[in-house]
Amino acid sequence: MKNYLRKNDSFNFFNDVFDDFFRPTFFDSSLKNMRTDIKTTESGYDLEIEMPGVDKKDINLSLENGYLTVSFNKEVKENDNYVRRERIDSFKRSYYVGDVDKNLVKANLQNGVLIVSIPNVKKEENFNIQID
């Protein structure tokens, strides 16, 4: 990838045009953050969510109306003299997991990957109503 801090040559017109055309795709934060792999296990599902550089204390998980919401919010020091910042300091993503017991959801952060274990939702197989 080209270093955008370097001043371009004036004879590099076509590279500049193509760089500007493709830049929104390459720097779109929604495409790069919290990429998730979902695996099925014997007891349910494992969500493997990429969270590089995020500390455990900055991660929040909530379970409401069948949606698991994972978010993080890192504290940013305003006095740092950045020339360019591409890493984000907060993000939120929701996953539909159904009606699960929140006490059975487990989470673990290992090497920049948050692993959230969700148990299977057990549906009632038999549903009979007797009307008198």
pLDDT digits (tens, 9 = 90+) for 15-58: 554 555 544 444 444 545 688 999 999 989 999 999 888 889 99
Q: What does the alpha-carbon distance between residue 130 and residue 72 come to, in Å, rounded to a whole number?
A: 49
pLDDT digits (tens, 9 = 90+) for 63-119: 999 899 999 988 777 767 777 777 778 889 999 998 888 889 999 999 999 999 999
pTM across the whole model: 0.65
What pLDDT does residue 105 have? 92
Higher pLDDT, 7 or 38: 38
What pLDDT does residue 3 have? 41
Exposed e or buried b for every residue in 15-34, given b needs 16+ CB within 10 A? eeeeeeeeeeeeeeeeeebb
What pLDDT does residue 122 have? 66
Longest dimension (CA), the chain: 88
Residue 131 has pLDDT above 90, yes or no: no
What pLDDT does residue 126 have? 60
Instruction: Quickly tell me which residue has 């495409």 as its tokens.
Output: 31
What pLDDT does residue 123 have? 60
Long-range contacts of 85-88 (CB under 8 A, 24+ apart): 86/27, 87/53, 88/29, 88/33
What are the sequence ranges of the domains in the chain?
Answer: 34-119
CATH number of 34-119, picked from 2.60.40.790, 3.40.50.620, 3.30.420.10, 3.30.420.40: 2.60.40.790
What pLDDT does residue 128 have? 67
Q: Are 109 and 50 in contact (CB under 8 A)?
A: no
Residue 6 has pLDDT above 60, yes or no: no
DSSP collapsed to 3 states, the chain? CCCCCCCCCCCCHHHHHHHHHHHHHHCCHHHHCCCEEEEECCCEEEEEEECCCCCHHHEEEEEECCEEEEEEECCCCCCCCCCCCCCCCEEEEEEECCCCCHHHCEEEEECCEEEEEEECCCCCCCCCCCCC
| Residue 9 banded pLDDT, cuts 50, 70, 90 | very low
